[in-house]
Amino acid sequence: MKVDSTGIDIMVALYENGLVTDCPRGENSGRFLANDYVVRKLEKLCTVKDLAAKKTVSETAHFTVWDGFNSAKCGVAVFLQNASLQIFGTQSFQLPDEI
């Protein structure tokens, strides 16, 4: 992977599935729209400038949860992104039902 001098940001997003949006007006008036993978929190874990093979990076993300938080409906996505917002890789994980 080619990286410029600014490096690669390791980003983590906390998302929620199973949300519903009521649309009282507009082209979807009277409909209820289902929404999955809604990002509720987004954090930059770190920036990596040395991408040597087999390099290990270890960081911890801390998120404050919202009222009505239900871990069974949530997950975490991790992705690598450069300064021009190009994404190089992703991985997502479903949260355990009980946190």
Q: What is the pLDDT of residues 64-77, one digit of tens each?
A: 999 999 999 999 99
- Judged by DSSP in three states, 92 sits in strand
For residues 13 and 42, what is the distance between their CA atoms, to the nearest angstrom?
4
- Longest C-alpha distance within the chain, in Å? 54
Residue 22, pLDDT > 90, answer yes
Enclosing domain of residue 24: 8-94
Residue 99 lies in a domain: no
Q: What pLDDT band is residue 1 in, cutting at 50, 70 and 90?
A: low
Residue 2 lies in a domain: no
Q: Provide the mean pLDDT of the chain.
A: 91
The structural domain count of the chain equals 1
pTM for the full model?
0.82
Residue 42, pLDDT > 90, answer yes
Distances (CA, A) of 85 to 3, 10, 30, 66: 12, 11, 36, 27
Q: What pLDDT band is residue 97 in, cutting at 50, 70 and 90?
A: confident
Residue 81 lies in a domain: yes
Residue 21, pLDDT > 70, answer yes
